[in-house]
Amino acid sequence: MKKNNPNIVEVKSLFKKYGDIYAVKGISFEVPEGEIFGMLGPNGAGKTTTIEIIEGMRKADSGTTFINGLNTLNNQKKIKQIIGVQLQQNAFFEYLNLFEIIDLYANLYGKKINPSDLLFKVELSEKEKSKFKELSGGQKQRLSIAIALVNDPYVLFLDEPTTGLDPQARRHVWNLIKNIKSEGRTIIMTTHYMEEAEELCDRVAIIDSGKIIALDSPSNLIDKLIKKGFKSKRSIKKASLDDVFLDLTGQELRDT
């Protein structure tokens, strides 16, 4: 891909209203290539609306978004070729098997790929011949990430990629996301799990009531809080209940 800008994603002064409610009130940020950028914030803060505007799935009232220097509004065809979007799960074809689903999406993009390779990457090789409706929640999440990768995208958008998953499945998705980053792709994701943001994100924007109220690396944000004199009420132990769970039940996926 010809690089037009060191910041592969640029968001400038986005505003979006639904009826009388301002969902997004002047959001601006930039994401350099190869970063995992997290969007955190309470329910209804405006994260999904912002992501959908950047993807070109929703129109802002004002403001501009650029991907690789291209204004997303005027270049929708080109943008579609370079981004991957994790679709909502009800968008899939219940009666096709996983190989056929991947093949179908690859054809829609005019890409020649081997669906088995992509299914291997997301640890679904054994389910190649299974139907979508026969998958567990974790398997469905991994399939939706595989589908977002069919066009070999430069920027991947993941909206709550591990919601509802058990600790093993969550860690497998984390490893998958790290592998995708190591291929040089940029990832913009939302999550409500702070340990997930800490583990994966180079930087996070904390969004509240449609505005970014903090933007930095997780480590810097924690340091700033401690500098303000914050004292945790919890006693910090060397292991967590999550560690206990994984020690007792193992790291392997349970839904294969």
Nearer to ligand ATP, 40 or 177 (CB): 40
Nearer to ligand ATP, 58 or 80 (CB): 58
Distance CA 31, CA 143 (A): 26
Residue 19 Cβ, how far from ligand ATP at the closest point, in Å?
A: 7
Residue 209 Cβ, how far from ligand ATP at the closest point, in Å?
A: 9
Nearer to ligand ATP, 18 or 93 (CB): 18
Nearer to ligand ATP, 186 or 190 (CB): 190
Query: What secondary structure, in 3-state letters, does the chain show?
Result: CCCCCCEEEEEEEEEEEECCEEEEEEEEEEEECCCEEEEECCCCCCHHHHHHHHHCCCCCCEEEEEECCEECCCCHHHHHHHEEECCCHHHCCCCCEHHHHHHHHHHHCCCCCCHHHHHHHCCCHHHCCCEHHHCCHHHHHHHHHHHHCCCCCCEEEEECCCCCCCHHHHHHHHHHHHHHHHCCCEEEEECCCHHHHHHHCCEEEEEECCEEEEEECHHHHHHHHHHCCCCCCCCCCCCCHHHHHHHHHCCCCCCC
Residue 83 Cβ, how far from ligand ATP at the closest point, in Å?
A: 18
**163 touches ligand ATP (CB under 6 A):** no
Cβ proximity of 50 and 207 under 8 Å: yes
Nearer to ligand ATP, 97 or 209 (CB): 209
- Segment 8 to 67, residues that bind ligand ATP, using CB under 6 A: 18, 21, 23, 41, 43-49
Residue 130 Cβ, how far from ligand ATP at the closest point, in Å?
A: 29
Which residue's structure tokens are 């943001």? Answer: 197
Nearer to ligand ATP, 23 or 119 (CB): 23
Nearer to ligand ATP, 45 or 118 (CB): 45
Residue 18 Cβ, how far from ligand ATP at the closest point, in Å?
A: 3
Closest CA to 172 of 85, 256, 251: 251
Size of the site for ligand ATP (CB under 6 A): 11
Residue 162 Cβ, how far from ligand ATP at the closest point, in Å?
A: 14
Residue 20 Cβ, how far from ligand ATP at the closest point, in Å?
A: 10
Contact positions vs ligand ATP (CB under 6 A): 18, 21, 23, 41, 43-49
